[in-house]
Structures are given as C-alpha cells and as structure tokens.
C-alpha cells in the first residue's frame, strides 16, 4: 500500500451509472495528483471491470474492498440501517470511523449517508447538528451556502454554528483568512424574519469572530458575490438551491427554443457555437458538484446521484482541497 | 363621470419616477381598453403635468383626487399609519373601503400598503391572513406562486386557505376550471417538511376541491409548468422569488461577459442581435409585474417600486383581468 498524506473512502455503488462513473472520475483525478490514496468500496467484480475499462491499473493509489450489498436509493433510512451493514456505503463510512480513511464520498442515498455518518463518525463536540453545505458560482467567484437541506428545524445556535463552520470551510478551500458571512432573510419592510434568526443576527453582530459578519442578505444578492458564506435553514436553503437550478434550466430552454425556432436563429447559433460552448463550460454545474456534510468528526461528501464521471471528479477535487485545508482540525480548535 | 364596469384606484405617488411612470403606464392601457374607470390619487399639480406630457387629456376614463402628502418608502408601518391619513396611498385604499373603487394599485411602501389595506378593507370572513401572490413564467405558460413574503409564520390553515385562494385567482385570470395545486417542499429523503406542511398535505389530499391537488413539488420543478399554483410560506416564497431573480441576472451577466470579451463574440452578438432581442422580450420581467394581496375584501395590487411605465401598464392589465374574472365573489362564495 502506498503512503500518502490522506486517504479517501469512496462508496462506488451509489447513484446512476455506478461504479463506472466513479472509477472514470477517479481516473481523471489520478492523472493530476498522486498524493491521496483511495479505498474503493463496492462489488469487486464490477469494480475490476471498470478499473480495466478506465485503465486505472497503472496507478498504485487505490485498493478495493469487496462489499456484498449496496444501499439502494429507494431504501428508507430505517431500512438502510437495518440491512445496510455489509453495504459499500456503510463500510466506507466505517473506514472513516476506524481512522483508516480521512473522508468519505458517496453518490448514494442522501438520507442514509447522513444518518449512518452521524451514527458512526459522530458529531464534533459542541455542534448540535450537521449542515449540508454547497458551492455556488457567483459574479465574482464562488460562495458557500448552507444549510441545503439537512435540517428543517433550525435554532439560533444552528445559525451561529453554521456561520462559524461555513467560514472555516471557506477558509480551508479558498484560503481567505477572514471571509464574509451573511444570513439569508426576506426583504419586505415589516418582516424581519423568525425570532431565532433575529437573535442569531444580534449575537453574530456583537461578537468578534474569525469572519466578517455582513448581516442579512436577500435571495437576489446570493449571486452577486459580495458575501462568501450564506447561512440559512435547511428548508429555505434546499428550495433556494433547487429554484436556482430550475431557473437556469428554464433560461437554457428558452434560449434554445428561440435560436432553433427560425432559420436565422439556427444560423446565428452555428456562428456563435464556440461562444455558447464557452458559456456552457463556465456555467457547468458539474464543477460545483459535491454537497459537504459538516459538523461530523470527518468530512462526508455527497456527490449528486445523477452526476456523471466529470462531476464525480470535481467532488474528489473538492474533497482533496478540504483535506489539505485541514478543515476538521480548524473546526475542532474553534468549537 | 364615465359609466364603466369597474373602477380602479391608483396611488400615483409611490416608487421610483412617480407619477410619470404611472400616468404613462395608464396611457398605454387606455389606448387598448376603455371599460375601466381610474381614480388617480396624488399631488394634483404633478399629475396634471404628467397627464399633459403623456396626452391623457383625450380620455374620459379618469379623475384626479388631490392628496397633500405621500407615504415615503423609508417610513415604518407605524409612521405610515400615524402620518399617512392624507396620503395618496391611504386615500386610494379608502376609496375601495367606501366602495367607490373595486381594486387598488400602488408602487409604494409594501408594508404600509399591506397593513393599511388590512385596516381599511378588512379580511374576508374565514381567512386569517392575506397572501402575497405573484405570476411566474414557466416552460408552458404562467403559474401563480404564493405566499411571496406577507407571512413569515405559517399554519396548516394558511397552506389550505392559500391553495384555495390561489386556485381561484388562477381561475379568474386564466379561466381554467380546475387548476392544479402543489405544496413546495424539500427533496431530501428523510425530511418531509414541517408538521404544518405535512398536515396540510394530508387534508388537501383527502378532500374534494375545485382544484386538482398534485401533492409536493420541489424548487426545481416550479418552472416546469406542470403545476399551476405553488403554495409555500412567506419566508421561503420570498427567498425563492429573489433567488430566481438573482439567478436570471447572473446568467444575463455571464452571457454578456463572454460575448463581449472577444472580437468574435462581439461580431456574433451583432449577428444574433434580433434573436437576443426576442429572448429578452420573452423573458421580460416587466410582463409579470404586480404582486397581488389576496384574502382582503378587494384585490390590492403591489407594483414593483422600481417598475417603469411598461411594467406599471402590465400591473393595470393584470388588475383588469382580476376584476373581470370576479375573483372576490369567487373567494367569498368558497369561504
């Protein structure tokens, strides 16, 4: 076994087109970096086939752990816990618990991933709830938004904890010493949000932190890039994320519809082909693949179930950054 | 005074560039229709200047009511009520209370508009809270989303009431007898939303209504157009609306940036100029201007403060549709 700085446990069986997309994504990463070791959990026969297909055989940066079962997307969390102990997801998380790996990635069942991770890896002392954080492209770069759906019920402490954890995640990934934090709120004059939000605002406003507290921000400001970390409850965050996705999809659809509805449109599209290709590349959501469960004793990365190999590669890249940025140590020191 | 089917009270003083944009917007409308009468509330000297500027003098479909003051955007609701009794907004709402008008439109202070309307026009019996509804373009047409920010605290009854009111609004505007209704919820497997939401789901699912209940929908499905009315709490709705706005703005910005960054891009943009103009026209947010306060004894329309004359025209058009669709009668019969 190769000696590397970090080991990442990969559940190779979750989501669509696995394990092929997982192994291909890993092959992209291993062409660029070789200081991270991967333990791949899944059905050995399928993994070996994929490994040959994507010519991973040349690399010494991985090992396979054969797992007889997998947690299906349709499983309830209860069933996942009951029948999942021999599954690739469980075994991958367990390897983090046993300190054989530093981080786990899965494109499988989100609820099961969160609950089994909490069960095995446990919360960092002082943090109540895990957050699901994500990277959002904005006009100036990238921001981190959390919580994207891990917690529906939200307390004043959650807002404060998530502001702190979000700031440390930002610092780990982007290296900015004192990033800016904002709380998402509504803009109608008479409505200033829930009690918990207002209390959190007052506390964050009056305390010194390792981040710069910018107060409230509204939904239309998320993409401006003036705030690095945007904190909200899991219900609102999840709906904001998906509304943004749906809006991008809607606009793409409108643009396509109009360009393809006339001959002139079709010609213009052909002429502008390379420009559109560049726009598509710049806005490619696969670059931002990877939800990060935060607050546990190790980072847990959720790759989108429908993510392809390139998207999976980006979630590995993100994982590597988080490990190199020493996120967990940073959180432990500050809580 | 002309005999018309309906009278609309216009607060001509709120928002940016008033009363000019209001009078110009009205002039667009009066070129198309003349079966609605308008009572315009505002500073007479300014109104007369605008009326001459936009050649409204030929029309007999309006009268002016001189008001000495106006409610500024910066006023708190408390101040608006204290000092606002002679304002254009107050007088316009009062004319609805006194049954001299059927509907009121304003681009002024949203909080003041809502609270003074509640105070004077009062809620329809059986409805607890007013909703703020809006029109959203989708892949197949237009949907109605509510609540967009009037209520932060939300009960099971609110979800049910707003489903019913939203369906009646849709029917009034678009004439569909049994529109489809969905409740906005998160998609993570283990999280099925707040208790109130789940209870509302169960009740809506087991009752017969004049709409088709489609269950939960996620944020990314709003723009698909498979559901006509989307119901959510005011906090989530406001943030979803503004996140969608911010996303459109972000994409526009990216497209412009890339087309203008190279000579080839600039040439392609020039060639595709008419196509882009058409896209811009199709997606023009001004067409969807006008938040609708529902649940009061008359419709109250909030035009966006920054809306221009064309946007104001669209909010008048929307108001006319709501009146002709007999929305308030429909609601009263069903509650």
Q: How many whole angstroms separate alpha carbon A287 and alpha carbon A281? A: 9
Give the right CATH number for B1-127+295-335 from 3.40.50.720, 3.40.640.10, 3.40.50.2300, 3.40.718.10: 3.40.718.10
Q: Which residues in chain A (166-225) have CB-CB distances under 8 A to chain B?
A: 184, 186-191, 193-194, 218-224
| CA dihedral angle for residue A92, residue A95, residue A101, residue A106, rounded to 10 degrees | 10
pLDDT over 70 for what percent of chain A? 97
User: Closest-CA residue in chain B for A79?
Assistant: B190
Asked if B131 and B233 count as a contact pair (C-beta separation under 8 A), the reply is no
Pair of tokens at residue A192: 């200033």
B192 or A41, which is more confident? A41
Q: How many whole angstroms separate alpha carbon A186 and alpha carbon B242? A: 9
Instruction: Evaluate if residue B188 carries a pLDDT over 70.
Output: no
Asked if A92 and A101 count as a contact pair (C-beta separation under 8 A), the reply is yes
Domain boundaries, chain A: 1-127+295-335, 130-287
Peptide bond into A229 cis (omega under 30): no
Tell me the chain A residues in contact with residue B245 when contact means C-beta distances shorter than 8 Å.
Answer: 219-220
Question: How many other CB atoms are there within 10 angstroms of residue A157's CB atom?
Answer: 16
Residue-wise pLDDT tens digits, A149-200: 899 889 999 999 999 999 999 999 999 999 999 999 996 444 567 889 999 9
Q: What is the pLDDT of residue B187?
A: 65
Q: How many whole angstroms separate alpha carbon B253 and alpha carbon A123? A: 41
Q: If you search the block for the tokens 């709003």, which residue do you land on?
A: B222
Q: What is the pLDDT of residue B207?
A: 85
- CATH (residue range A130-287): 3.40.718.10
Q: Which of B189, B217, B218 to mutate to test the interface with A (most CBs of A within 10 A)?
A: B189
Tell me the chain B residues in contact with residue A218 when contact means C-beta distances shorter than 8 Å.
Answer: 239, 242
Which of A44-53, B42-51, B118-127, B272-281 bottoms out in mean pLDDT, i.e. has the lowest?
B272-281
Q: Do A236 and B239 touch (CB under 8 A)?
A: yes
Q: What is the pLDDT of residue A296?
A: 97
DSSP B185-226: ----TT----HHHHHHHHHHHHS--SSEEEEEE-GGGGGG-S
- Does B278 contact A at CB distance below 8 Å? yes
Q: Which residues in chain A (16-75) have CB-CB distances under 8 A to chain B?
A: none
Closest by CA to A88, choosing from A72, A74, A101, A99, is A72
Mean pLDDT, chain B, as a whole number? 93
- Does B279 contact A at CB distance below 8 Å? yes
For residue A62, the cross-strand partners are: A38
Residue-wise pLDDT tens digits, B113-164: 999 999 999 999 999 999 999 999 999 999 999 999 899 889 999 999 999 9
**ipTM entry:** 0.91
User: Closest-CA residue in chain A for B254?
Assistant: A279
Q: What is the pLDDT of residue A271?
A: 86
Output the pTM of the full model: 0.92
User: Closest-CA residue in chain A for B271?
Assistant: A268
Pair of tokens at residue A182: 């904002």
The reply to whether B133-287 shares the fold of B1-127+295-335 is: yes
Instruction: Evaluate if residue A13 carries a pLDDT over 50.
Output: yes
Asked if A235 and B194 count as a contact pair (C-beta separation under 8 A), the reply is yes
Mean pLDDT, chain A, as a whole number? 93
In chain A, the largest separation of any two C-alpha atoms, in whole Å, equals: 63
B133-287: CATH architecture: 3-Layer(aba) Sandwich (3.40)
Q: What is the pLDDT of residue B190?
A: 43
Pair of tokens at residue A96: 């983090």
Instruction: Evaluate if residue A1 carries a pLDDT over 60.
Output: no
A8 or A192, which is more confident? A8
Q: What is the pLDDT of residue B1?
A: 54
- Which candidate from A232, A251, A262 shows the least CB-CB separation from B251? A251
DSSP B98-143: TTS-SEEEE-S-HHHHHHHHHHHH-BPTT--S-EEEEEEE-SSSEE
Pair of tokens at residue B280: 């811009």
- Does B146 contact A at CB distance below 8 Å? no
Residue-wise pLDDT tens digits, A254-312: 999 988 988 888 988 888 888 888 888 888 889 999 899 999 999 999 999 999 999 99
């Amino acid at each position: 076994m190769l000696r590397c700085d970090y080991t990442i446990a990969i559940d190779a069986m979750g989501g669509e087109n696995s394990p092929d997309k997982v192994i291909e994504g890993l092959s992209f990463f291993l062409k660029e970096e070789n200081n991270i070791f991967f333990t791949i959990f899944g059905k050995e026969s399928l993994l070996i086939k994929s490994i040959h297909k994507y010519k991973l055989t040349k690399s010494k940066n991985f090992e396979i752990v054969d797992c007889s079962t997998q947690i299906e997307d349709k499983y309830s969390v209860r069933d996942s816990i009951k029948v999942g102990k021999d599954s690739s997801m469980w075994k991958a998380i367990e390897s983090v618990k046993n300190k054989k790996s530093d981080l786990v990635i899965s494109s499988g069942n989100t609820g099961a991933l969160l609950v089994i991770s909490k069960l095995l890896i446990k919360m960092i002392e002082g943090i109540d709830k895990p957050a699901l954080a994500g990277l959002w492209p904005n006009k100036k770069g990238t921001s981190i938004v959390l919580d994207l759906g891990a917690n529906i019920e939200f307390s004043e402490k959650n807002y404060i904890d998530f502001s702190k954890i979000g700031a440390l995640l930002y610092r780990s990934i982007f290296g900015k010493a004192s990033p800016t934090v904002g709380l998402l709120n509504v803009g109608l004059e008479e409505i200033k949000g829930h009690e918990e939000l207002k209390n959190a605002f007052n506390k964050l406003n009056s305390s010194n932190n390792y981040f710069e507290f910018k107060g409230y921000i509204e939904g239309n400001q998320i993409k401006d890039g003036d705030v690095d970390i945007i904190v909200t409850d899991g219900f609102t965050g999840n709906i904001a994320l998906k509304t943004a996705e749906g809006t991008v999809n809607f606009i793409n659809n409108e643009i396509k519809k109009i360009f393809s509805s006339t001959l002139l449109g079709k010609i213009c599209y052909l002429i502008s082909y390379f420009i559109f290709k560049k726009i598509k590349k710049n806005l490619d959501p696969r670059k931002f693949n990877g939800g990060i469960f935060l607050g546990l004793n190790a980072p847990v990365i959720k790759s989108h179930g429908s993510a392809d190999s390139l998207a999976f590669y980006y979630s590995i890249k993100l994982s590597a950054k988080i490990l190199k940025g020493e996120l967990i140590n940073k959180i432990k020191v500050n809580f």
